[in-house]
Structure formats: C-alpha cells, structure tokens
A and B are shown apart, each in its own frame.
Chain A
Amino acid sequence: MRRVAVIALANILSLLALPALAHHSASPFDSTRTVTLSGVVKDFEYTNPHSWLVIDVTDSGGRVSSWSFESQGPAFLVRIGILKSDLTPGTSVTVTGHPMRDGTHAASFMRAVRADGKVFGMGSRGARRTTTPG
C-alpha cells in the first residue's frame, strides 16, 4: 500500500512541467500538446544553457529516427535529481514533452521514465532532498 502511494506521488510530481526557459522564447514548442516516445538513449548533452536528451525511436516498420528533448542546464538538473549518469547511452526510456510546432522531431522535456520504472522530472529529487545544516 505504501509502495503504491509512493508511486502515485511520483507520478503526480512528474506531471509538473519544468519552469519556463529564460534563454529563449517558448514559442517553438506547442505547450498545448504532448508527445510520449519510447526509445533508447543515444546521447545526453549535459550543457548550458540547455541540456539535450537524444533518443533513437524505432517505428513499427523498423525505421529508426532520433528525437531530441530540450531541458534546463546541468545545475538545475542536478538540483531536481536528473544526473548525466542516470540516462547513459543505450538506456531504454520513455520520454514525454511538448513537441515543436513545425513538426521537427524535437520537444521540450517534461519527464522521462526509465525501463526500471524510475521517473525523472520535477520533484524526482523530492524524497532525497535534505536541508543543509545551519
């Protein structure tokens, strides 16, 4: 029962969108739509001002295409509990985001769920957060 409650809380927290991007307008992405894609991590660019999670998605016909998810810079991701080592190349993952309006295979990152069930998004650090002394 307790396990179910924890999972439910994690799902609720993961629905929270990441904060607005200061570096550029939100206009390239359609905030009214979401896409969810399953694939394998190709690369996780852990860079400023934005990080990019790139996954290879295989469609029903066996064709592979890359999707890029834009997120915040490393310091922000560390704070909310998304480490570069969490999403290494080859990791199976399901990623959700707001897609680009022009149909490009890219989206603004909302959350990722790894094959082992661990959720990465706003609040994924929550349970581990501690207060600094003093």
Chain B
Amino acid sequence: MEARIHEQCRQMATATVVVVMALAFALFRAGNADAQQAPDSRQSGDIMISAAQGATPVAQPGPDTPVPAWAQQSYDAYLQMKAEAHGGTHYTRETYARMPDWSGIWDHVDGFAWDHTVNPIAKRDAPEQLQAIFDHCRSFPCAGWVTAALKPAYALRFREKMIAGGHGVSWDYLSACLPTGFPRDMLVSAGGERYFMISPTMTLMYYQSDEGNRVIFTDGRGHIPPDEAYPMWAGDSIGFWDGDTLVVHTLYLRNIELNRNLPADSEQASVVERIRMTDPNTLQDQATLYDPKMLYRPWSGVQTFKRDTSAHALVDLYSCAENNNVYQGKNGESEILLPGQTITMKQAYTFPDQIQNVLENKVIEYGARLLHEKPSIDTQ
C-alpha cells in the first residue's frame, strides 16, 4: 500500500514537472514567437509578456491581432520589412550592450524633409513667408514643397489655411497647450529637445514640450485590438529591431495639423518608420505616412536629429499651461497676452476633420483676394 502511494506520488510529481515545463515552454514560445518566427507562422491570440525574470507575465495583444482596413497597406509594408529581417533581431537584457547607443539629448535639424527635399521657405510660417510659399505653389502636389498627393477636401482645406495664414490669421492647437502629437512631433520642428531611451522590449521618446511622449513596444505584441482602439495623440506603436534600425508601425492617431504650413492628416493616418543612427551623433527617421482619407498615395519624408553635446543642454519637461500667453482673437487669429495683462476667455480647438463639411460655403473676407480664383486641385 505504502509502495503504491509512493508510486502515485512519484507519477504525480513527474506529471506536474512535465506540465510546468510544457507551460513554461509554451510561455517562452509565445513571448518570443514574434521575434523568432516568420510572420506567416505567427501564433494567434494574446501573448504573455513578463517585464523581468520572475515577474508575473502580462497578457498583451498577439501579433495576429488585425488592423482596420484603412491601415492594412501600411501594416503590410511593415510586415514585409519584418519578413525580410527574418522576424527581427531579438535583443535581451543580456545582449543590451549590442544595441545602438541613442543616449543623450537630441534636437531636430532643418525641420521636415518630405520626399527627402528640404525647402527653406517651407519651414517658415510668418504671413509674408506663407504668401511666398503660396505664390510658389498654387496647386498640390508642388515640387520643392508639399509633394503629397492630397485628396480634394484636404487640398482645399490646406489652401484655405495657407490663404488665411498669409493674411495673418493663423491659429494652432499648440497655442492651447495641447500635445504636438505624432507624426508632427517627429517630422517637423516641434516637440523640442528629447531623449530616445531604448531597451529590448520598448523604446521611450521623451519630449520637452506638452506631454509629447511616445512608447514603441518591441516585445512582440501586436496592435491594440480594433474594438478597444481610439484616436490617441501618440497613437499605438509597435516595432522590431532590424540590426541597428528600429522599424515602427503606428496607427490610431488623432487627426492633426502636420504643421502651420503643412496640411492636416486624418484619423486614418498610419506611419511606418525606420529609425537609425547614420553617424555617432546623427539619428535619422525615415517615415512614410499612409492615409487613404487624405492622400492618393503614401507620402515619405526624413527627419534628422543631432545629439546635443552642449554641456548646458537640458530637457525641461514643462507644462505649456504654466504661462500660456496666446489666445484666439475674434477673427481666429493668434493674439498675444502681455506680461501683466489678464483676460477671461473660453478656448476650444476644432480638429481638422470636424470642419471639412463647411468648406464649400465658407467665405473668409481676409482671403477674398485669392479665394475668388478657382482652386487647382490635382484629382489624379
């Protein structure tokens, strides 16, 4: 009897060990599935991710989590890059030293470079400069400036914004101390000085101004499931490492103005980025914007960052609301509040897509000189 109980205990212990090993193996496979396997053999369902050895694994969306139809083209491009990289380079805490050195403080150089072209006039937003841009580009795409193949509603709205700006009427959600948002914070001169902090499982981009932070998960998880997703300032970013290059896919973005002298995007924007150092003090972000609502075809650009080696460099994670000195005037213009002045005001920002429907009937006096001309819109 005693021998039989002992044998049962031995069998139970063996079975327990087998089950535990199987579970551990399954967790290990799930946690590494995205990094180690080709996209066509990804496992479905959630994956278990633990932040550190011994920590309780946390369920995250699996790599097979679908994306909305409007983001499929950019996601396919991203998955293609991942397949070509054989699933990506799998860094761990032990191999962290092999990852590139993105430490220090970084500042943007020369603003955006859509289609790899930097036009000096495109970085300015004073009325005279906007008028010069507008005189140069009366239709879009425009060589040397906005090469985006804008769809009619977006081209019209952009044209109207440029006319208003050329007449000194310019308002921006940044003036309400709202976050810059992605991709504006990466691809134009906004967001300020920043840190890029990388680890095997995530990269954190930490900007100076207005809650401008970004997280890119590289732990093998998929995107937030569509039924849980909503538009966010930084969107939802996942990525993988291709050697020294961080490849990123981002979607679920708020529609924002890409800059004061650039068009707006829509909530159907998604972005594929390849970020890498090109020399010890230079970081380049090659980005392609996909937006079937805004664009006829994807729009690519490059942003260059330089490491700030000044002994006095500082990233001040400030709140713009601390001393906001701008309010919107009765004609929609930016008004400056001087030291010592006080006003009582209500501020609201209307996001681009919310005013599209009134474009056709909107008459703006300050733009009359240019508006009476028939807009030339590329409807290719």
Contacts and interface: CB of A to CB of B under 8 A. Distances in A.
Interface of A: 19-20, 22-29, 31-32, 43, 45, 47-50, 52, 54, 68, 70, 73-76, 78-79, 81, 100-101, 104, 106, 125, 129-132
Of B309, B310, B333, most A-chain CB atoms within 10 Å: B310
Interface of B: 104, 123-129, 165, 168-172, 174-175, 177, 180, 189-193, 208-209, 260, 308-316, 318-320, 322-326, 333-336, 338-339
A44 B248 CA distance: 43
A79 B323 CA distance: 20
28 contacts: A19-B189, A22-B209, A23-B175, A23-B320, A23-B326, A24-B174, A24-B326, A24-B334, A25-B165, A25-B175, A25-B334, A28-B334, A28-B335, A47-B323, A48-B209, A49-B209, A52-B339, A70-B325, A75-B315, A76-B192, A78-B314, A79-B308, A79-B314, A100-B336, A101-B168, A125-B312, A129-B310, A129-B312
Contacts, number: 123
A54 B309 CA distance: 31
Instruction: State the majority secondary structure of interface residues on A.
Output: loop
Contacts of B333: 27-28
Contacts of B169: 27
Contacts of B124: 20, 26
A118 to B, nearest CB: 17
B326 A75 contact: no
A26 B126 contact: yes
A73 B339 contact: no
**Shortest 4 CB-CB distances between A and B: which pairs?**
A75-B316, A25-B170, A48-B318, A47-B323
B168 A75 contact: no
A131 to B, nearest CB: 5
B126 A31 contact: yes
Instruction: State the majority secondary structure of interface residues on B.
Output: loop
Contacts of B193: 75
A48 B174 contact: no
Given A20-B125, A48-B322, A28 B316 contact: no
Given A48-B323, A129-B310, A25 B172 contact: yes
A106 B336 contact: yes
B123 A20 contact: yes
Contacts of A131: 309, 311
A80 B143 CA distance: 35
A106 B312 contact: no
Contacts of B310: 79, 125, 129-130, 132
Given A23-B174, A24-B334, A43-B339, 19 more contacts: A20-B125, A22-B180, A22-B191, A23-B209, A25-B172, A27-B126, A27-B169, A29-B126, A32-B128, A49-B322, A52-B338, A54-B339, A75-B193, A75-B318, A78-B312, A78-B314, A106-B336, A129-B310, A129-B312
A52 B122 CA distance: 28
A49 B209 CA distance: 8
